[in-house]
């Protein structure tokens, strides 16, 4: 939890590595590019040292517990945050004209099918095409929620095939969809952060086993590194 002592507003988050996660939060806040715009706004207004951070619970199922705390406390920094998409009618029109409606009911955008998720830049911010589509057809939604696919086609932007969920639902989806990937978003982020010439994708399963005690395949690693799974479109 991050708390502003200036206005008592709180932010709830979950992580397998509190120190590291906190470091990343504050690095982003200092750079001014934290994905949580409410927290960023207050950070810009108040002194860095007026923000406190606490561990409120130690547990294994931290994503579920995070959601529980968010539902319970309705923290100011987490809730009341519609997605910060400022998109003009002209941009919406442009988005719609680039839509390709497939026979199977899925819509893809701009012909991208076999590459990374399509992202669309509006102003300074890149959005996942599916996230943008959800916003255009269903209106604003809380920023901490993910836009997930019912159709298992991650390139699909048909709003009827999209639904809102949490990180843990995304994880369950990945397992249900046969990816068999036991990691969560935190581990996916970790994998991306350590990937380099020194720590090649081949070495990563061993590092993960040592650090988190779980076995993942090099295929899992590759799908994470290529953004096929646990893609982060919010940051």
- Among 153, 166, 184, 220, the residue binding Zn ion under the rule CB under 5 A is 153
Quick one: which segment of 1-9, 12-20, 59-67, 101-109 binds Zn ion (CB under 5 A)?
101-109
Residue 228 CB contacts under 8 Å (≥ 6 apart), including other chains: 154, 222
Quick one: which segment of 71-79, 92-100, 108-116, 150-158 binds Zn ion (CB under 5 A)?
150-158
Minimum CB distance to Zn ion smaller for 158 or for 229: 158
**Pairing assessment for the beta strands 99-101 and 10-11 based on DSSP bridges:** unpaired
CA–CA dist 50, 55 (Å, integer): 17
CA–CA dist 58, 65 (Å, integer): 10
Site for Zn ion in 208-227 (CB under 5 A): none
Residue 232 CB contacts under 8 Å (≥ 6 apart), including other chains: 185, 189
Residue 27 CB contacts under 8 Å (≥ 6 apart), including other chains: none
Q: Does 106 bind Zn ion (CB under 5 A)?
A: yes
Q: Does 151 bind Zn ion (CB under 5 A)?
A: yes
- Among 148, 156, 179, 224, the residue binding Zn ion under the rule CB under 5 A is 156
Write each residue from 157 to 196 as x if it is in contact with Zn ion (CB under 5 A), else as -, in one continuous string: -x--x-----------------------------------
């Amino acid at each position: 939890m991050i708390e502003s002592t200036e206005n008592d507003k709180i932010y709830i988050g979950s992580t397998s590595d509190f120190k590291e996660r906190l470091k990343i939060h504050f690095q982003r806040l200092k750079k001014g590019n934290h994905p949580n715009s409410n927290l960023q706004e207050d950070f810009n207004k108040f002194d860095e040292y007026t923000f406190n951070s606490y561990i409120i619970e130690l547990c294994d199922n931290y994503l579920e517990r995070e959601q529980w705390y968010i539902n319970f406390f309705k923290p100011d920094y987490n809730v009341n945050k519609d997605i910060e998409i400022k998109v003009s009618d002209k941009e919406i029109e442009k988005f719609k004209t680039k839509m390709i409606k497939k026979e199977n009911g899925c819509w893809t955008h701009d012909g991208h099918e076999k590459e990374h998720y399509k992202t669309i830049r509006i102003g300074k911010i890149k959005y996942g095409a599916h996230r943008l589509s959800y916003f255009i057809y269903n209106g604003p939604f809380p920023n901490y929620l993910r836009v997930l696919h019912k159709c298992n086609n991650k390139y699909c932007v048909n709003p009827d095939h999209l639904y809102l969920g949490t990180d843990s639902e995304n994880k369950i989806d990945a397992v249900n969809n046969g990816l068999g990937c036991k990691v969560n978003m935190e581990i996916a982020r970790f994998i991306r952060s350590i990937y380099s010439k020194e720590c090649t994708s081949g070495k990563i399963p061993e590092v993960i086993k040592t650090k988190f005690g779980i076995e993942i395949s090099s295929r899992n690693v590759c799908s994470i590194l290529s953004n096929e799974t646990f893609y982060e479109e919010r940051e």
